[in-house]
Amino acid sequence: MKTQSSPVALRPLGNTGLSVTPLCIGGAPLGDMPETFAYSAPEEQALATVRAAFASPINFLDTAAAYGDGESERRIGIVIREMGGLPDGFVLATKGDRDLHTGDFSGDQFKRSVEGSLRRLGLDHLQYVYIHDPEHSTYENVMGAGGPLEVLQSFKEQGVIGHIGMSGGPIKMLIRYIETGLFSAVETHNRYTLINRSAEPLLDLCAKMGVAVVNAAPYGSGILAKGPDTYARYAYQDAPAEIVERTRRLAAVCQEFGVPLIAAALQFSVRDPRVTTTVVGMTKPERVQQTIDLASLPIPNELWTRLDAVGYDAVDPEANRFA
């Protein structure tokens, strides 16, 4: 039986000087995104979740300008204002986004995006800002003169932004950005889970470079949390029959060991030394303590070997979609 190290002990976020917990609260579903998650998150419930997060030993919250087209940040901002600011030692990360209506991914749009985040959150400083989902643009545009990166760098020089990271889908694309050495953290999602491990080469690269890995969606957006027969969705889409069947097999193996599938799914990420923090999406206040408890549950080493034997995807579902 492996003894878990504390899921709330602080560790460095790459070379930023910031310290974060190995667990991070994911703010996408807090923005009420029924088209993404197939259910709604009422405002009061979302606010209660943010309050629970701020009151907990977890010190890291992840959002984006795009989540609910500003709604996640707006709701988080309500609680920040209620509290008169972020709690001491808390780290809030957000993301600069394209215009969701026109697809505009220009530097000017990123300026508007950052200004919108400051306004909605009620802050005059953003500790951490990622470039979000650059698969919707080209490398040349993102990195070029007057583009999103230059705009964020200029905000950083003015002290408006603390640090800049990269977040997105396709792993080859993320590797290309991280290799530039210009980003202190990378946020990958749905690609380092019990079902898909295609982020492995990115994790290895970041470990070598000292770049923080922020591993989002350990439950594959829900199937590994709620179970294949309750919520058969992976990465924001109906899960293919083969994934539903494989998840049932993973759950059956977990059951043999008396371990809930959700705990194994969470710890698969949290226990990996290459992962700095694991981002768990949630819309209910009780999830915060549940997540700490799930990350602390003792899991026998043999379970990991048995879960490996069930098999996993090593191919990035968007392998061919990168600039």
Ligand X SMILES: NC(=O)c1ccc[n+]([C@@H]2O[C@H](COP(=O)([O-])OP(=O)(O)OC[C@H]3O[C@@H](n4cnc5c(N)ncnc54)[C@H](OP(=O)(O)O)[C@@H]3O)[C@@H](O)[C@H]2O)c1
Residues that bind ligand X (CB under 6 A): 26-29, 37, 62, 132-133, 167-168, 187, 189, 216-222, 225-226, 262, 279-284, 287, 290-291
Nearer to ligand X, 28 or 126 (CB): 28
Q: Name the residue whose CB lies closest to ligand X.
A: 281
| Smallest distance, ligand X to C-beta of residue 17, A | 22
Q: Return d(Cα 183, Cα 200) in angstroms, integer.
A: 18
Q: Which residues contact 7 (CB under 8 A, 6 or more apart)?
A: 21, 22, 23, 270, 291, 292, 295, 296
Q: Which is nearer to ligand X, 4 or 290 (CB)?
A: 290
- Minimum CB separation of residue 281 from ligand X in Å reads 2
Nearer to ligand X by Cβ, of 110 and 219: the residue is 219
Least gap, CB of 40 to ligand X (angstroms):
10
Q: Name which of 219 and 302 has its Cβ closer to ligand X.
A: 219
Q: Is the CB of 78 or the CB of 266 nearer to ligand X?
A: 266
Nearer to ligand X, 157 or 236 (CB): 236
Residue 120: CB minimum distance to ligand X, A:
15
Of residues 212 and 262, the one with the C-beta less far from ligand X: 262
Smallest separation, CB 195 to ligand X (Å): 10
